[in-house]
Amino acid sequence: MAMKPYSSARDEYHGDAKVFLDANENPDPFDYARYPDPYQKELKSRLASLRSVSADQLFIGNGSDEVIDLLIRATCRQGLDRILTLDPSYGMYTVSAAVNEIEIDLVAMDEDLDVDEISLFSTLNNQHKLIFICSPNNPNGAIVDPALIKRVLDVASGLVIVDEAYIDFADTDSWVTMLGEYSNLVVLQTMSKAFGCAGLRIGVGIMDSDLVQILNKIKPPYNISTANQDAALLRLENLDDVKRSIDAIRQERARIELLLLEMDIVDRIFPSQANFLLVRFQNSRKVLAQLLAEGIVVRDRSTHTHCNDCIRISIGTRMENELLIDCLSQC
Ligand SMILES: *Cc1c(COP(=O)(O)O)cnc(C)c1O
């Protein structure tokens, strides 16, 4: 809290001026000659109105992965503080914890990949500065019971991060509506999935504005490039396209699920509210080999907790999905 952040040229003067000779930029009239807006004001203003929150509750990272890393660095001290998450879940919580040398407790899900409440609440303690809950969860796509998340928010002494990377594919509401009730709630979203902007690296943390200020202090000053801010804004001007693509993916998810369920090689499909299906096959290694031979790449999750013989399959275009189904029918 006492730390003085790097003060960039754009921190010390913002506004319009005739001549900017303060940042050692090249005066070339090239589009990207100037440093980007360090606080991404225009992008935040668009995202704030889209999500019905205030712009000062937003923190934009170079992908959610940067937000995850900065949250850890802002709150966790090596050897003292810990992180808690569920297993299986998104791998970056564990990687980021390791990079920062912070211990992480993985609470195993039950065999249906539902949260094991007894195990969760017996593990959770005051050392946990961050609790990551991914909902819909990657790799299975299930929504985590909101009543359970509320109990975690009530008892946790640290921040509870609900990772909503896939929320726009789900039937349920976002947790952003609960930010007023829980000052320890952080909602993590991204433009990588539903918005189709994975290449732009736009991760969005929505949280108490005081916490945004802390992350602003420790972030790399110009963490989102001008090109990426501009491209993200362009996408947000075409929300009809985004909505159409989300609808198509949801329809395809339902269609493919039915087709897969009819196949003898399929043992089980985990109910998904995301843009992927976690499928348990009778012999996932055989299926993976067959798909790969046809040039179809899917994600082997078989070594993850309770995921034996499981493959995670992203929902593609109708044509891509047809190729997948054709290939699987021949397995
Ligand atoms: C894909 C994904 C993200 C997105 O990460 P970005 O760095 O924003 O691309 C975040 N969380 C989960 C659970 C994901 O699956």
| pLDDT on residue 318 | 98
CA distance 3 to 72: 16
Positions in the chain short of pLDDT 70? none
- Nearest of 45, 21, 102 to residue 69 by alpha carbon: 102
Q: Tell how far CA 297 is from the center of its chain.
A: 22
Looking at this protein, which amino acid is placed at residue 7? S
- At residue 71, φ and ψ (nearest 5 deg) are -60, -40
Q: Which residues line ligand 1 (CB under 6 A)?
A: 63-65, 90, 134, 138, 163, 165, 190, 192-193, 198, 203
Taking each helix axis from N to C terminus, what angle separates 64-75 and 209-218, rounded to the nearest 10 degrees? 90
Query: Can you tell me which residue has the tokens 């001007």?
Result: 237
CA distance 8 to 42: 19
Q: How far is the CA of 63 from the centre of ligand 1 (A)?
A: 7
Q: For residues 23-42, b (16+ Cβ closer than 10 Å) or e, as one string?
A: eeeeeeeeeeebbbbbbbee
Is there a contact between 260 and 279 (Cβ–Cβ < 8 Å)? yes
| pLDDT on residue 252 | 98
In ligand 1, which atom is closest to the CA atom of 62? 7
The residue whose CA has the least distance to atom 13 of ligand 1 is: 90
| pLDDT on residue 15 | 86
| pLDDT on residue 2 | 87
- At residue 59, φ and ψ (nearest 5 deg) are -125, 125
Q: How far is the CA of 7 from the centre of ligand 1 (A)?
A: 29
Q: How far is the CA of 69 from the centre of ligand 1 (A)?
A: 12
**pLDDT for 85-106, tens place per residue?**
999 999 999 999 999 999 999 9
- Nearest of 278, 249, 254 to residue 266 by alpha carbon: 278
Q: Hey, what long-range contacts does 285-291 have (CB within 8 A, 24 or more apart)? A: 286/331, 287/311, 287/328, 287/331, 290/327, 290/328, 290/330, 290/331, 291/324, 291/327, 291/328
- Nearest of 119, 307, 114, 145 to residue 105 by alpha carbon: 119
Q: What is the 3-state secondary structure (H, E, C) of 93-158?
A: HHHHHHHCCCEEEEEECCCCCCCCHHHHHHHCCCCEEEEEEECCCCCCCCCCCHHHHHHHHHHCCC
- Nearest of 176, 236, 218 to residue 66 by alpha carbon: 218
Burial of 154 per CB tally in 10 Å (0-12, 13-18, 19+): exposed
Q: How far is the CA of 2 from the centre of ligand 1 (A)?
A: 31
Kindly list the distances between the CA atom of residue 80 and the CA atoms of 6, 93, 126, in Å, as whole numbers in the listed order: 27, 18, 11
| pLDDT on residue 14 | 84
Instruction: Give the number of other Cβ atoms within 10 Å of residue 78's Cβ.
Output: 9
Sheet of 299-300: strand order equals 266-269, 276-281, 310-314, 299-300
Q: How far is the CA of 134 from the centre of ligand 1 (A)?
A: 10
